Amino acid sequence: MGKVKTLIRIQLREFFSKYRWGIGINGKKPRKGYLLVTLCFLTIPFLQMSVEVYRYFNQWGRPDLGVAYLMMMTFLLMLFTAIPLLNSIFLYNDDYQILAPLPLPEDYLVLAKLSVVWVYTAGINLLLFLPVLFLIGLEKGGESFFFLCGLLLIILTPFLPLFLATLFVFGFTTFLANRGRKNLLSLLFGLVLLGLVLGAQLLMMGENPVRLLALTESLIRYYPPAGWAAQMINGSWLSIIYYLSLNGLCYFGLKALARRLYRSALLFSGIKRVKPKSNYVYRPRGKYRQLLRRNLLIIIRQPVFLMHTLLSSAVPILIFLVGFHSGDFTAERLSLFDQPRRFTLFWVGLASTPALLNNLSATAITREGKAFWETMVLPVTAWDNLRARINTTFLLNITASLLVMGTIMFSFSSQFPAVFSGFFFVAMLTWLLASTDLVINIYRPFLNWSNPAAAIKNNLNVLLSLAYRPLLSLIPLVVFRCFPEAGINRLLFTCGILFSFLTLLIRRYLYWVMLERFKRIGG
Amino acid sequence: MLVLKDVNKTYDGKKMAVKELNLKVNAGEIFGFIGPNGAGKTTTIKMITGLLPPTSGRILLNGIDLATLPVEAKRNFTYVPDHPEIFTGLKGIEYLNFLADMYEVPGRERRNRIEKYTRLFAIDTALGDLIQAYSHGMKQKLLICGALLPQAPLFILDEPLVGLDPLATKHLKDIMREHCAAGGTVFFSSHLLAVVDEICDRIGLINQGELIVCDRVERIKNGSAHSLEDIFLELTKDGEG
């Protein structure tokens, strides 16, 4: 048992070390401030959602349905989180060459790997369930039966989604592993997960309350554990027995399936595809174009980077599409005809979102990791090297903004005010953010990562770049206050010019101050 | 071809990694740079390649100062590092095309050279694969092919033979000799003293950041029957102790 504990501890440490690396505390005494800020950023949305669900269902006298609603939501969240996670831990991990030769039973290794997925999903489950259970518990006066129910819900709920996720990953691996398309899985489920979170939020905001109660009750029929959970809260022992039996079965099923997944991963890890020699292209390209292309490929060819970029870019389009199709974003509601100024601010805000969320420049150097030396020994100027990074971010984010604009334009056909001034505003803001974020990355290059997620997720650079963004809203605020009577075109152009002026200042700073620092990175 | 004048490197203003290094590597010679672990070899190579700025001193490549004209200076060399840590999201052919563009190798020549070197090092069939699928040795071979591609006058290699199979090692040694016979220069570091002894025209021995010997191999041996290994161990004895 000691061995399995050690193994689990090592797997957990290895997995969570990427988060520690990301916030710059690995190998050092953790800085409480960093940890606190990061944890707040991560947990607040979950806790807020849980409290909202409780308040919503409690006002109709059905807090038990709130538990059922959360149960269905956590089921989907855990399912779509576990699929890429299992994929990465079982199929993408290169620790097999260290683990497999160890004199340990196969079950120990499988259990250690599964424990990481369980801890992660149980963490999500805990964040969502804890506030709602705490609030219901207060009402019930802290009964020990209720405490037992809460404990069971938090510990056991992940088993069913984990079992189904493993079943899916196993099927997908059998079908696709030898075709080298495993990355697709992470990307696909990342997008589904994002759509799910946004959809659930919009449903809570926009749905008719009576219909939502009825909808929750009818969905329980398709997912009985949610119904059992609600009845457990109301004091049903029978539901506890059902719940325990189902999760017991899932646990053993999960272990058996994970063992097979482990074996197939072990098998595939040693297989290399032999491809016939293709006709390669030897066409010369310009140096700068090659640098841009390399920076783009660093994002495109690394599944974690690609997923992160695509998800951040997809958020505004998803928000718009969900809102448009749910009837929240109609021409009438957005006052398209009577207040075109308000509508313009709506679409310009949405089109600016990719630049605001996708702070690619804040990790433009970090993403290269230990391969950073490559471009530094080449006969290209350090300034071109820097500019290529800024322009890669600009290109990606402006493309996403154009897609947002295109989607809104298409949805409202010909009615689309202030196209040029709005686009100018968005482009200049994108350029400014792409340049400013790079300053952060030069200050904190962080090249020594071993897991790509550590390079971009929970990286302090990302948090810092998000932290200064609200300050930029002062520019449009001041401009709109100073010229209240001016037309929207003029206001947007003025803001755009101010953004471009700031960008030029930042670029001068990059050239005269930061360039020397950049040259010293990685030495 | 390569001149280092009074080059110093300190880390954090305290630890002297390289002390007053003066070195001249002539065109047409293979220069072996040897020393124990932590002696300052890789730091020196990083300074020559522009990855690390020297604390003081000058580095000239083909007469061009690396500090003042870095791009022009860097056109004169290609580099193979001690660890094949390259961006693995590219395909082998994309990596080679990238390097060819950076050194402005014309289309027809790049094709001929890529085909020649990749076939020689037996990685031609893997060029369509992502580098992440390459073994350590294949990555090393790809780096070597990339460094050979521009045919720069100076070829800088840090521990190039690690991970290479015997046939690839032989090819690389032959290429180094051919390159020097054609007027090029090779500067390489290695712990494989037998190889250094076999192919180098001159060697420089660095220990604790100081160049303690820099001469032709036969003159260092001075007619004695001792091997280069014995001499190396004798000269670096104090540092080890």
Domains parsed from chain B with CATH numbers: 2-76+154-240 (3.40.50.300), 86-151 (no CATH)
Return the higher-pLDDT residue of A455 and B151: B151
Q: Which residues make beta-bridge pairs with B33?
A: B189, B204
Interface touch B89/A298, C-beta < 8 Å: yes
Percent of chain A clearing pLDDT 90 (strictly above): 25
How confident is the model over A363-377, as pLDDT tens digits? 999 999 888 988 998
Mean pLDDT of chain B: 89
Are A15 and A88 contacting, i.e. CB atoms less than 8 angstroms apart? no
Interface touch B105/A284, C-beta < 8 Å: yes
How confident is the model over A413-439, as pLDDT tens digits? 666 778 899 999 999 999 999 999 999
Residue A174 has a pLDDT of 67
Interface touch A280/B74, C-beta < 8 Å: no
Model confidence at A179, in pLDDT bands (50, 70, 90)?
very low
How confident is the model over A86-125, as pLDDT tens digits? 877 877 666 776 677 667 777 888 888 888 888 888 888 8
In the stretch 59-88 of chain B, residues with CB closer than 8 A to chain A read 70-72, 74-75, 79, 81, 83, 85-88
Distance of alpha carbon A258 from alpha carbon A90, whole angstroms = 9
- The answer, yes or no, to whether residue A23 has pLDDT greater than 90, is no
For residues A307 and A249, membership in a common domain is answered with: no
* Alpha-carbon torsion, ordered A75, A76, A79, A83, to 10 deg: -170
Q: What pairing do the DSSP bridges indicate for beta strands B185-189 and B202-207?
A: unpaired
How confident is the model over A137-164, as pLDDT tens digits? 877 776 777 888 888 888 888 999 999 9
For residues A456 and A369, membership in a common domain is answered with: yes
> Dmax of chain A from CA atoms?
78
Contacts of B114 in chain A (CB under 8 A): 280, 282
Element (H, E) at A517: helix A515-519
How confident is the model over B45-72, as pLDDT tens digits? 999 998 888 999 999 999 999 999 988 9
For residues A167 and A195, membership in a common domain is answered with: yes
Is A23 a domain residue? no
- The answer to whether residue A520 neighbours chain B at the CB level (below 8 Å) is yes
DSSP letters along A370-418, please? Answer: GGGHHHHTSSS-HHHHHHHHHHHHHHHHHHHHHHHHHHHHHHTTT----
For residues A176 and A294, membership in a common domain is answered with: no
Mean pLDDT of chain A: 81
How confident is the model over A341-355, as pLDDT tens digits? 888 888 899 899 999
Contacts of A301 in chain B (CB under 8 A): 89-90, 130
Which of these, A193, A168, A86, A72, lies nearest to A125 by C-alpha position? A72
Residue A278 has a pLDDT of 62
Model confidence at A495, in pLDDT bands (50, 70, 90)?
very high
Interface touch B50/A285, C-beta < 8 Å: no
Residue of A nearest to B92 (CA): A280
Model confidence at B139, in pLDDT bands (50, 70, 90)?
very high
Interface touch A301/B98, C-beta < 8 Å: no
User: Minimum mean pLDDT among A206-210, A438-442, A467-471, A487-491: which range?
Assistant: A206-210
> How many domains is chain A built from?
2
- The answer, yes or no, to whether residue A211 has pLDDT greater than 80, is no
Q: What is the pLDDT averaged over residues B91-95?
A: 90
In angstroms, the separation between the Cα of residue B187 and the nearest Cα of chain A is 15
Q: What is the pLDDT averaged over residues B84-90?
A: 83
Are A70 and A169 contacting, i.e. CB atoms less than 8 angstroms apart? no
Is A242 a domain residue? yes
Chosen from A300, A301, A389 to mutate, greatest number of chain B CBs within 10 A: A301
- The answer to whether residue B235 neighbours chain A at the CB level (below 8 Å) is no
How confident is the model over A32-76, as pLDDT tens digits? 666 677 667 667 777 777 888 888 888 878 888 888 888 888 888
For residues A360 and A246, membership in a common domain is answered with: no
Given the structure tokens 């720069």, which residue do they identify?
B152
- The answer, yes or no, to whether residue A482 has pLDDT greater than 70, is yes
Minimum-distance CB partner of A377 among B49, B72, B100: B49
Minimum-distance CB partner of B74 among A286, A294, A379: A379
Q: What is the pLDDT averaged over residues A230-241?
A: 86
Residue A76 has a pLDDT of 82
Chosen from A94, A275, A280 to mutate, greatest number of chain B CBs within 10 A: A280
- The answer to whether residue A515 neighbours chain B at the CB level (below 8 Å) is no
For residues A237 and A349, membership in a common domain is answered with: no
The number of C-beta contacts closer than 8 angstroms across A and B is 102
For residues A220 and A346, membership in a common domain is answered with: no
Amino acid at A398: I
User: Minimum mean pLDDT among A1-5, A49-53, A185-189, A235-239: which range?
Assistant: A185-189
For residues A410 and A314, membership in a common domain is answered with: yes
Domain span holding position A296: 289-519
Q: What is the pLDDT averaged over residues A475-491?
A: 90
**Domain finish residue from A234, A269, A304:** A269
Are B16 and B209 contacting, i.e. CB atoms less than 8 angstroms apart? yes
Residue of B nearest to A290 (CA): B98
Are A468 and A502 contacting, i.e. CB atoms less than 8 angstroms apart? no
Distance of alpha carbon B199 from alpha carbon B197, whole angstroms = 6
Residue A410 has a pLDDT of 82
Q: What is the pLDDT averaged over residues B167-177?
A: 92
**Domain finish residue from A269, A304, A325:** A269
Integer CA distances (angstroms), A323 to A207, A320, A334, A418, in order? 12, 5, 11, 22
Model confidence at A383, in pLDDT bands (50, 70, 90)?
very high
Residue B77 has a pLDDT of 93
Q: What pairing do the DSSP bridges indicate for beta strands B15-25 and B64-65?
A: unpaired
Residue B241 has a pLDDT of 37
For residues A296 and A205, membership in a common domain is answered with: no
> Dmax of chain B from CA atoms?
55
Amino acid at B56: S
- The answer, yes or no, to whether residue A271 has pLDDT greater than 60, is no
- The answer, yes or no, to whether residue A411 has pLDDT greater than 50, is yes
For residues A181 and A330, membership in a common domain is answered with: no
In angstroms, the separation between the Cα of residue B111 and the nearest Cα of chain A is 6
Residue of B nearest to A383 (CA): B71
Residue of B nearest to A303 (CA): B89
How confident is the model over A191-206, as pLDDT tens digits? 676 676 666 666 665 5
Residue B78 has a pLDDT of 93
Element (H, E) at B111: helix B107-120
Minimum-distance CB partner of B52 among A294, A301, A523: A523
In angstroms, the separation between the Cα of residue A162 and the nearest Cα of chain B is 30
For residues A482 and A333, membership in a common domain is answered with: yes
In angstroms, the separation between the Cα of residue B126 and the nearest Cα of chain A is 8
Residue A48 has a pLDDT of 79
Residue B240 has a pLDDT of 46
Interface touch A284/B99, C-beta < 8 Å: no
Interface touch B101/A302, C-beta < 8 Å: no
For B13: left if phi > 0, alpha if psi spans -120 to 50, otherwise beta; the answer is left
Q: Helix, strand, coil proportions of chain A in percent (round to 5)?
A: 80, 0, 20
